[in-house]
Structure 1
Amino acid sequence: MFFNNLNIIQFGLLLLQGSTTFAKHISSRTCNNCSCAIAETLGPKLSAGASCSYSTAAAPRWSEFDAPDPGLVVNVATESDVLITVQYCNENNISFLAQNGGHGWGQTFHLGLEGLLINLGGLNSTTFNADKTEATIQGGALVRSVVDAAYSNGAQIPTGNCNCVGALGAILGGGFGRLMGLYGLGVDNLLSLNVVTAAGTQLTVTPETEEELWWALRGAGPNFGIVTSATITSYPVTTAENGAWVGSWIFTEDQIEDVVEAVNDLDLLPEMAVFLYYAVSDGTPVVLVSGSYAGANNSDGPNAFASITAVGPVVEEAAWSPFDEVNASGDSFCAKGGYKPAYGAGLAQLVPATWRSIWNEFVDFIAINGTSASTVMVDCYPMEKTRTLPDSSSSYPWRSTINCNAAVIPWYDDASLNAAAVSFGKSVRSLWYETSGTATNATYINYAVGDEPYSVVYGDNLATLETLKGVWDPTGKFDQFFPL
């Protein structure tokens, strides 16, 4: 459902005059020879709305831990700007990385000062066809803007749950979200993709035009191209139905086993999703469960989560919300900057004894000064709709295996805590793997770190993806995010 971040350096911006079609916004950070030359020669080729910056503050990332640190950020304004930038990089042997929300937390980024970041944030529109059954989302649109556009058009689009995450980035990894019980994974709802390839060409990819590339992009997208826009199925709904009942319950640490067992045994209907967190509230570590039930405002939500409330929460809140407000409770995750070396695992089950051990690890870590924003989380979904399609339908590998995605997120501002945070994260992940209920270790790519064997991320699809990588990106232009 979440995150990742560039080193955020605070610099004043100096507006320099350039081409009549390109304004170069250059920070007081001294450019190196390479980045200066790029700005001077690439800038005039781009559209009037595009800009360049030598400061990564132009495209901040969610976490500063092992973040890319490019010499130049190109803020594109049109999909053609992306194509022109990739062509320029190819001609001049320049490494590049495309970014939308900046939350991908994988530690495989290695873009340095000789490289270029393509900031897709200016490509942020979501438009609909006349009957609202299809939507076209640009590559820089965040989940919040897609949900807002869908709501105002009387529709729903299956997106991730975190408002500040790039919508297409999350979808291309697989696309888990609170509506997937009704509509399936995000990748299952894609209809076409506009893609800039490693060769510097622009293709519209569909199952009919490029069957193998279509398969590869839907699960391993960042290895095969930059998706500048995508058309996806949208689902018209009435205003009365376009919302969800959301409940939140706080429990104390002595209730952990009962809470975890209740979440694990919950009968997840298609309208439902459930989330469990370890967090700090008013200085005290607590267990938080949140559940949502999509649809009209009625009694279905309370009834569906009765087994959770039967455990006896010490605090309980519940209300129906329109769908453009449903994700708001997760906005605290959106704060950028700081260090967040997160570790994730895919789970088929939740084991109470494991979560007791993880609680002990969590309490020990947050006892360190400056770590109280840290959290442990897991989100679980009804999988029946997703499993109506075979595993082979896309390169996302775990539809028949994973029921829940778990992540531990150490969160702090003092870089001297990095070693302790990594140790904490790896320890928790090991506990999940030991009792995951899966035949092999499996991790959703959007929750993976990069130190895992790639079979953990790509599963049995790894060999086929490597073969297709040789066809579509033989020189490894797309080599930053879990590169094949």
Structure 2
Amino acid sequence: MLWLKSSLVAAAAWSMATAQQFDPEFTPTPIEYAVDTLARAPGCSLGDFWRLARTLSGQTEIYFPGETEFDEATTRWSNVGAPIANITVVPAVESDVMKVVRIANNCNIPFLAYNGRHGALTTLGQMEWGIAIDLRALSGVTISADGKTATVKGGTNSKVLIDALWAAGKQAVTGTCECVSYMGPALGGGHGWLQGHHGLIADQWVSAKIVTADGQQRTIDSSSDLWWAVKGAGHNFGIITSVTIKIFPIVETNWAITTLMYTGDKVQALYQAANNYLLKNGTQPVDLINWSYWMNIPPIDPTGPVIEFYIIQEGVTAVDTNYTAPFIALGPISVTNNTGSYRDVSAWVGISLDGPPCQKTGAANPRFPLYLEKYNPSAMGTLYQAFKEGTNSSSPFANSLFMFEGYSMQGVKAIDADSTAFAFREDNLLTAPLVQYTPGSAALDAQAKAFGNQLRDILHAGSGRSQKHTYVNYAYGDESKQEMYGHESWRASRLLTLKDKYDERRVFNFYAPAA
């Protein structure tokens, strides 16, 4: 079917060129336009392109604008600064990824690989044409005979991995949102529910197969100079087609959560309590997680955003009252308790497969992340007021959300900070406003950017730090390289050296360029 489509599209492109000679008002179909654009690539004729494409396996799929499959493969979670593709290739086997990169290189065509399409970084918009490489068909998990490792294909999403391991009595650190890919978060370090025990997602890697900018597939591990870079700045150095990771026996099957909802007048007292009873100067217990959202729910409080605060505990059927009592004493609107297993946690906080973050609605969803050591209650009060004013009922940003993620950090801090490109292991909190709106104009995009940065700057001022620490996987796109990859000069130098060695032409430069 692929080659039949190839012939038809080639004929369509020939017809387009012929028609344009005789009809100046000729309007090409989306497929004709896409193929004609690729055919005009500076290093490749249309014939060259299709001869190269024929080296792909027969199961690999190719889609063009105007086809339902193309739309499904390119629709993104956030529609601001989104990349533009003329063709989508869905590789059936790992070797096809290498071949597509070679095709793109030979024809001087830009390309971008992805899976879940949740990256909201505005630098993605710098891809204004080219080939999208959709990795979703490369999905699967194979557990080793000794049960200590698993090999995960590059297009596997977090939920698939979680369920496959759970069925075998195993688990691993994965992203918290069920619909995101396993690989995407890992390339930026990657936070997860189990990181207090084992470290970041990328800290679990044993080896990886990576297609680098020259179209070669390499197997790398701790003996490779690329190993340091892919664990924190991985988006910049290649396409991971599979990775072998450490896995662990399930120790605790029981998990519990207490969900407390507050009005905005409790904001300072609430986050002071979080410092005192949960964070404890960076020593939050390994079995404990604190999360919270700020969001507008007018039926509950029409005067301003409500605060939904979660205390999550591993290994219990009810969260210990020593943790919950100080928060109940603050007088929440409501208190809800749930118990279940590890596989229920994402649903409890609204990020399961059927949750809002897993739906692609056409909205813009830029985030403005900042790492913190602790909450500054006074700054949180100022922040709440600014968020309230900026998300009032007449604002285009009324559906926005503020996220505060307080994972256990023991496993993360146990890893030498110099051993990975992920730089901010000393921080205890990940915060980010998610400025949600319906895209409409460049002016509205600029307004959203200004609002998001205003909120981030309030938190930064309250931190007392001179330098910002940000999470590359949540980045907006205006952060400096130092703010995403670390402020030590040796980090920037090492990234630059590796970039020059493995990606001199900067073909992997659309997602948070590192050098």
Query: What is the TM-score of this pair, normalised by structure 2?
Result: 0.84
- Partners of 2:140 and 2:291 lie apart in 1 by 29
**1:260 counterpart SS class:** helix
Matches within 5 A, 1:264-283: 264-265=275-276, 266-267=278-279, 268-283=284-299
- Partners of 1:299 and 1:246 lie apart in 2 by 7
Q: Which has the larger radius of gyration?
A: 2
| CA contact 1:151–1:323 (8 Å) conserved in 2 | no
Matches within 5 A, 1:48-197: 48-55=58-65, 57=71, 58-197=73-212
User: What does residue 343 of structure 2 align with?
Assistant: 324
Residue 161 of structure 1 deviates from its aligned partner by 0.9
User: What does residue 313 of structure 1 align with?
Assistant: 332
- Partners of 1:286 and 1:86 lie apart in 2 by 47
Counterpart residue identity of residue 375, structure 1: L
The answer to whether structure 1 residue 335 and structure 2 residue 325 are counterparts is no
| CA contact 1:278–1:376 (8 Å) conserved in 2 | yes
Counterpart residue identity of residue 498, structure 2: L
- Of residues 285, 289, 310 in structure 2, which corresponds to 1:290? 310
Which is helix-richer, 1 or 2? 2
Shift of the 300–414 alpha-carbon distance from structure 1 to 2, 3 Å rule, reads closer
Residue 127 of structure 1 deviates from its aligned partner by 2.0
Shift of the 184–344 alpha-carbon distance from structure 1 to 2, 3 Å rule, reads same
| CA contact 2:53–2:100 (8 Å) conserved in 1 | no
User: What does residue 8 of structure 1 align with?
Assistant: none
- Partners of 2:74 and 2:197 lie apart in 1 by 34
- Partners of 1:164 and 1:142 lie apart in 2 by 6
Q: Which runs of 5+ in 2 are unaligned?
A: 8-12, 14-27, 40-45
| CA contact 2:372–2:430 (8 Å) conserved in 1 | yes
Q: Which runs of 5+ in 1 are unaligned?
A: 1-13, 21-25
- Partners of 2:415 and 2:288 lie apart in 1 by 20
| CA contact 2:197–2:286 (8 Å) conserved in 1 | yes
Residue 19 of structure 1 deviates from its aligned partner by 6.8
- Partners of 2:124 and 2:464 lie apart in 1 by 30
Shift of the 299–228 alpha-carbon distance from structure 1 to 2, 3 Å rule, reads same
- Partners of 2:365 and 2:265 lie apart in 1 by 28
Deviates more, 1:317-326 or 1:85-94: 317-326
User: What does residue 220 of structure 1 align with?
Assistant: 233
| CA contact 1:96–1:115 (8 Å) conserved in 2 | yes
- Partners of 2:77 and 2:49 lie apart in 1 by 26
Matches within 5 A, 1:361-376: 361-367=386-392, 368-376=394-402
User: What does residue 508 of structure 2 align with?
Assistant: 478
| CA contact 2:112–2:131 (8 Å) conserved in 1 | yes
Counterpart residue identity of residue 86, structure 2: G
User: What does residue 34 of structure 1 align with?
Assistant: 37
- Partners of 1:357 and 1:93 lie apart in 2 by 50
- Partners of 1:234 and 1:145 lie apart in 2 by 15
Counterpart residue identity of residue 481, structure 1: Y
What is the CA deviation profile of residues 160-197 of structure 1, one whole-angstrom value per residue up to 9, with x for unaligned ones?
Answer: 11111111110121111111111111121111111001
What is the CA deviation profile of residues 15-57 of structure 1, one whole-angstrom value per residue up to 9, with x for unaligned ones?
Answer: 983479xxxxx99634331346487445422223221222352
Counterpart residue identity of residue 350, structure 1: Y
- Partners of 1:269 and 1:437 lie apart in 2 by 25
Deviates more, 1:81-90 or 1:35-44: 35-44
User: What does residue 7 of structure 1 align with?
Assistant: none
Equivalenced residue count is: 461
User: What does residue 257 of structure 1 align with?
Assistant: 268
- Partners of 1:452 and 1:390 lie apart in 2 by 25
Shift of the 84–301 alpha-carbon distance from structure 1 to 2, 3 Å rule, reads farther
User: What does residue 230 of structure 1 align with?
Assistant: 243
Deviates more, 1:199-208 or 1:298-307: 298-307
Deviates more, 1:198-207 or 1:40-49: 40-49
- Partners of 1:327 and 1:28 lie apart in 2 by 43
Residue 419 of structure 1 deviates from its aligned partner by 3.0
| CA contact 1:257–1:352 (8 Å) conserved in 2 | yes
**1:325 counterpart SS class:** helix
Residue 404 of structure 1 deviates from its aligned partner by 0.9
| CA contact 2:407–2:428 (8 Å) conserved in 1 | yes
Shift of the 359–133 alpha-carbon distance from structure 1 to 2, 3 Å rule, reads same
The answer to whether structure 1 residue 436 and structure 2 residue 463 are counterparts is yes
User: What does residue 394 of structure 1 align with?
Assistant: 420
**2:54 counterpart SS class:** helix
- Partners of 2:78 and 2:136 lie apart in 1 by 17
Residue 376 of structure 1 deviates from its aligned partner by 0.7
| CA contact 1:147–1:323 (8 Å) conserved in 2 | no
| CA contact 1:339–1:415 (8 Å) conserved in 2 | no
Query: What is the TM-score of this pair, normalised by structure 1?
Result: 0.89
| CA contact 1:42–1:88 (8 Å) conserved in 2 | yes
Counterpart residue identity of residue 29, structure 1: P
Residue 290 of structure 1 deviates from its aligned partner by 1.4
- Partners of 2:49 and 2:289 lie apart in 1 by 46
| CA contact 1:342–1:407 (8 Å) conserved in 2 | yes
Counterpart residue identity of residue 71, structure 1: N
Shift of the 354–465 alpha-carbon distance from structure 1 to 2, 3 Å rule, reads same
